[in-house]
């Protein structure tokens, strides 16, 4: 009997390494896609779809969202960046670069024989240590008059003074208490539009016009009804209408619907916002009564209107309520106004939560989205700074953290120290990209900064990207929100650990099949 030589162990090991290398290459490719955009000298990326539509941006989450990615590990990095954006509103590029570095360094140690579990454990230990140090060394922003607030908005707003000033003025109108509220997202207050002057105003916007030009464009003392449904009578099928009973039911529903429309008018409701469309009868009745109706309002905008005016959304069936019950669903506003010049409708002076809209003007339609992204970053960064303080920017603080992590790795016994060193390498990666994008040698500048920080015993020393000189980042107003750094570290570590934990890639069986193949 012929026997095959024992080689199964090698095959399993080779399969594991293939999976690791495949995931590492994918993660590195995603990271490289945004490395050239970070820092004050970062360049733009042109995204082109199959129809030739072009988006030019250096916003990390925009690049990652629009780029084509088929590899599962690449998608994991992109999802981590999205989570960072949703959670804190900024720092997606940093999180992606750090995640790519963690995966690359971790894989190199695993390929050299370090157990993956030890690398993962070391990454967790190192990141926990970094987060603790960041919280400990964050400098508090004492209020909206603190110069650090403007500095944060200016840095996050890519040094656009107009956007930074608008953001700070809007913050003053909203107030610190609301900005520190975890349920309030300041970035949602931003709207960009081509051909208008930048301004701020108390209230929210609806990116729609009234249903027709016969309806009023200005309502003072607004009583607002928000319908999370279509504005039309309940339906009866065509087949049912052919029967006597069905026809009777159809006519009854139409009569009830018409009475409900009249009830709305009699209740003094003068603004109706609808999630979907409205039928001809509703348009006719409300036009004659001088009621402003706006249809197909995005749900996100309806939610903001409700929060600002105190309105509660109602379904179509809720029309059957009596006038007293219906009144409990209404919101109020001092002013609801539409203008063809604006291209949107404003709801101002609501009876609910205070809201402010930052309207950012753009020269052309091509730059509207980019201007909005910049302003949203500035608003998110300012809010994060108020809630969690600031740290030196320009990668300086990460370099200082890296030196502390290096000390921790030396003090840690066993193979866990290799995972901690992965964290050290990931921390210096954003700084290296920033310096390289400015046209300097990353290794040379890294050594300069580390030496200067050690001599000054300070975490604020960094590199001036204009002249390449060592400067005090804090004194120059180059600061980042501490919460952005903390969440970036968390996001990067979570996705890196998930990728490094993958031992085998297997293809799922198709429906109806009983077999599966290894990729």
Read off the CATH number of the domain in which 314 is found: 3.50.7.10
CA separation for the pair 119, 395 (Å, rounded):
24
Whether residues 20 and 122 fall in one domain:
yes
Residue 197 has pLDDT above 70, yes or no: yes
In a domain, 172, yes or no: no
Domain extent for 120: 11-139+391-500
Supply 175's token pair.
Answer: 């107030």
- Asked if residue 309 is part of any domain, the answer here is yes
- Whether residues 128 and 216 fall in one domain: no
Assess if residue 371 is contained within a domain.
no
Give the span between the Cα atoms of 31 and 79, in whole angstroms. 13
396 and 309, same structural domain? no
Residues 314 and 399 in one domain: no
Asked if 338 and 212 touch (Cβ cutoff 8 Å), the reply is no
List all residues 6 or more positions away from 104 whose beta carbon is below 8 Å from its beta carbon.
24, 27, 28
Question: Is residue 15 domain-shared with residue 99, that is, in the same domain?
Answer: yes
pLDDT at 284: 92
Same domain, 22 and 104: yes
pLDDT of residue 417: 95
Same domain, 134 and 27: yes
* 62 found inside a domain: yes
Give 237's pLDDT tier (boundaries 50, 70, 90).
low
Do 115 and 222 fall within a single domain?
Answer: no
> Quick one: pLDDT at residue 241?
64
Mean pLDDT of 259-284: 90
Tell whether the model's pLDDT for residue 56 goes beyond 80. Answer: no
* Sign, CA torsion 122/128/133/134: positive
Q: Which has the closest alpha carbon to 285: 236, 223, 226, 214?
A: 214
| Structure confidence at residue 217 (pLDDT) | 93
Q: Are residues 27 and 125 in the same domain?
A: yes
Q: Give Dmax over CA atoms of the chain in angstroms.
A: 96
Q: Are 118 and 225 in the same domain?
A: no
pLDDT at 4 over 80: no
**Average pLDDT of the segment spanning 472-493:** 93
Helix, coil or strand: residue 143: coil
Give the whole-angstrom CA distance, residue 423 versus residue 435.
Answer: 20
CA pair distance 153, 385, nearest whole angstrom: 9
Asked whether the beta carbons of 352 and 306 are under 8 A apart, the reply is yes
Least confident stretch, 63-67, 108-112, 210-214: 63-67
20: domain CATH number is 1.10.560.10
Four-point Cα dihedral 112, 115, 118, 123, nearest 10: 50
Domain end call among 277, 303, 327: 327
Same domain, residue pair 134 and 18:
yes
Are 15 and 132 contained in the same domain? yes
* Cα dist from 129 to 88, 486, 496, 504, whole Å: 21, 11, 17, 30
Residue 288 has pLDDT above 80, yes or no: yes
Question: Token pair for residue 169?
Answer: 């003025």
Inside any domain, residue 375: no
The 3 state secondary structure assigned to 351-396 is CCCCCEEEEEEECCHHHHHHHHHHHHHHHHHHHHHHHHCEEECCCH
Counting the structural domains of the chain, the total is 2
Residue 152 in domain: no
Handedness of CA 231, 323, 304, 78 (dihedral sign): negative
Q: Residue 263 falls within a domain, yes or no?
A: yes
Among 29-33, 286-290, 315-319, 338-342, the range with the most confident prediction by mean pLDDT is: 286-290
Distance, CA of 10 to CA of 295 (rounded, Å): 65
> 201 lies in a domain?
no
């Amino acid at each position: 009997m012929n026997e095959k030589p024992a080689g199964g162990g090698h095959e399993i090991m080779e399969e594991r390494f293939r999976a690791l290398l495949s995931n590492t290459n994918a993660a590195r490719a995603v990271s490289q896609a945004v490395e050239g955009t970070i820092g004050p000298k970062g360049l733009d990326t042109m995204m082109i779809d199959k129809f030739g539509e072009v988006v030019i941006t250096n916003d990390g989450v925009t690049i990652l969202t629009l780029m084509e990615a088929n590899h599962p590990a690449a998608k994991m990095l992109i999802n981590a960046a999205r989570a960072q954006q949703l959670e804190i509103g900024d720092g997606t590029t940093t999180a992606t670069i750090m995640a790519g570095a963690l995966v690359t360094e971790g894989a190199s140690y695993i390929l050299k024989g370090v157990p993956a579990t030890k690398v993962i454990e070391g990454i967790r230990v190192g990141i926990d240590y970094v987060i603790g140090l960041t919280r400990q060394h964050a400098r508090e922003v004492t209020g909206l008059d603190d110069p650090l607030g403007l500095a944060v908005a200016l840095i996050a707003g890519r040094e656009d003074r107009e956007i930074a000033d608008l953001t700070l003025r809007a913050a003053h109108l909203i107030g610190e208490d609301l900005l520190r509220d975890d349920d309030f997202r300041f970035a949602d207050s931003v709207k960009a539009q081509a051909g208008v002057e930048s301004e701020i105003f108390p209230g929210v916007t609806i990116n729609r016009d009234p249903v027709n030009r016969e309806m009023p464009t200005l309502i003072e003392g607004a009583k607002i009804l928000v319908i999370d449904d279509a504005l039309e009578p309940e339906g009866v099928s065509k087949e049912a209408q052919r029967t006597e009973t069905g026809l009777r039911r159809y006519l009854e529903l139409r009569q009830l619907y018409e009475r409900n429309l009249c009830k709305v008018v009699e209740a003094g409701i003068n603004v109706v916002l609808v999630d979907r469309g409205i039928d001809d009868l509703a348009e006719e009745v409300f036009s004659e009564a001088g009621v402003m109706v706006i249809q197909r309002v995005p749900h996100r905008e309806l939610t903001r209107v409700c929060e600002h005016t105190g309105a509660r959304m109602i379904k179509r069936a809720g029309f059957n309520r009596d006038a007293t019950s219906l009144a409990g669903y209404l919101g109020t506003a001092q002013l609801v106004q539409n203008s063809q010049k604006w291209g949107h409708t404003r709801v101002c002076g609501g009876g609910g939560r205070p809201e402010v809209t930052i309207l950012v003007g753009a020269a052309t339609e091509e730059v509207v989205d980019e201007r909005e992204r910049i302003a949203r970053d500035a608003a998110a960064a300012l809010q994060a700074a108020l809630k969690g303080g600031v740290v030196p920017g320009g990668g300086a603080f990460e370099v200082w953290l890296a030196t502390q992590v290096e000390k921790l790795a030396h003090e840690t016994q066993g193979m866990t120290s290799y995972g901690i060193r992965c964290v050290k390498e990931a921390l210096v990666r954003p700084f290296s990209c920033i310096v390289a994008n400015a046209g300097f040698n990353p290794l040379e500048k890294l050594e300069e900064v580390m030496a200067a920080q050690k001599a000054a015993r300070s975490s604020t020393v960094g590199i001036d990207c204009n002249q390449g000189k060592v400067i005090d980042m804090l004194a120059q107003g180059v600061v980042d929100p501490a919460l952005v750094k903390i969440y970036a570290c968390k996001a990067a570590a979570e996705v890196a650990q998930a990728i490094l934990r993958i031992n085998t890639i297997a293809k799922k069986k198709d429906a109806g099949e009983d077999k599966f193949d290894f990729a």
